Amino acid sequence: QSALTQPPSVSGSPGQSVTISCTGTSSDVGSYNRVSWYQQPPGTAPKLMIYEVSNRPSGVPDRFSGSKSGNTASLTISGLQAEDEADYYCSSYTSSSTPVFGGGTKLTVL
Amino acid sequence: QVQLQESGPGLVKPSQTLSLTCTVSGGSISSGSYYWSWIRQPAGKGLEWIGRIYTSGSTNYNPSLKSRVTISVDTSKNQFSLKLSSVTAADTAVYYCARDYGGNSLWDVWGQGTTVTVSS
């Protein structure tokens, strides 16, 4: 199973919006709504931010939103804050009944 | 509030077997529709799913690691474990245990991670 494709880095200024893409295939992202997103500040464990494409766990700010179109899922962070600076990973269930991660995207808040 | 804690040797020699245990506290490992996963992350690199187990003992493994991985569960101790055989330097990473809701690739609780270095 190949890793999902994410841009290596994105950046934005405080208050702006940024979108991180996660591209898979018809065997994963395109066929299942089991896409989730994780935030990982340096030196810490990942934290679930979005599950099942667009659902937010309790406690996650509504500035974080998720969507999907075809084989590509997206995470949008609006009203960017300094504390949002971190690595972000997507994951998807696959037709092999196993999950796969994206390569990760480093978000820099300028 | 369920918490996970990894434990095990931080240094393993090449060709030997890496063994880690994840202890679940604040709840029963047998309750709910949860699978229990191992995920690793080499320094400066991305996340890699290793495998998972359900409390029935049913397992799924990453095809790229399947020949070397065994995940087991001990419900009496509220623990699950990872064994990775024939390790090389490429297996050096931070190893996380995590709870997967419904086997849906949705990890909502993570351990803090433990660093394992493969070196002679």
Torsion of CA B59, B50, B98, A100, to 10 degrees: -100
User: Residue A89: which of B47, B61, B63 has the nearest Cβ?
Assistant: B47
Altogether, the residues listed in chain B come to a count of 120
pLDDT of residue A36: 97
State the burial class of residue A25 (Cβ atoms within 10 Å of its Cβ: 0-12, 13-18, 19+). middle
Express each pLDDT in A43-64 by its tens digit: 999 999 999 999 999 999 999 9
Taking any CB pair shorter than 8 Å as contact, residues of chain B touching chain A are 46-49, 60-64, 96, 101, 104-108, 110-113
Task: In whole angstroms, give the CA distance from residue A37 to residue B100.
Answer: 13
| From A70-79, B13-22, B54-63, B107-116, the region with the lowest mean pLDDT | B54-63
DSSP codes, B45-71: S--EEEEEEETTS-EEE-TTTTTTEEE
Task: In whole angstroms, give the CA distance from residue A75 to residue A49.
Answer: 9
Contact A93 B112 (CB under 8 A): no
Within 10 angstroms of residue B38's Cβ, the number of other Cβ atoms is 27
A91 contact B CB<8A: yes
CB B40 within 8 A of CB B58: no
DSSP code of residue A2: P
Contact B63 A46 (CB under 8 A): no
Contact B49 A103 (CB under 8 A): no
- Cα–Cα distance list, B100 to A51, B23, B33, B89 (Å): 11, 15, 9, 28
pLDDT of residue A19: 98
CB A101 within 8 A of CB A89: yes
CB B45 within 8 A of CB A102: no
A31 contact B CB<8A: no
Task: In whole angstroms, give the CA distance from residue B56 to residue A57.
Answer: 27
B103 confidence band (pLDDT: 50, 70, 90): confident
A1 confidence band (pLDDT: 50, 70, 90): low
A89 contact B CB<8A: yes
User: Residue A1: which of B63, B110, B113 has the nearest Cβ?
Assistant: B63
Contact B112 A45 (CB under 8 A): yes
Most B CBs within 10 A among A44, A55, A101, hence the mutation to make, goes to: A101
**Nearest 5°: phi and psi at B60?**
-135, 140
Q: Which residues of A53-65 are buried (b: 16+ CB within 10 A; e: fewer)?
A: bbebeeebeeebb
Express each pLDDT in B47-93 by its tens digit: 999 999 998 889 999 999 999 999 999 999 999 999 999 999 999 99
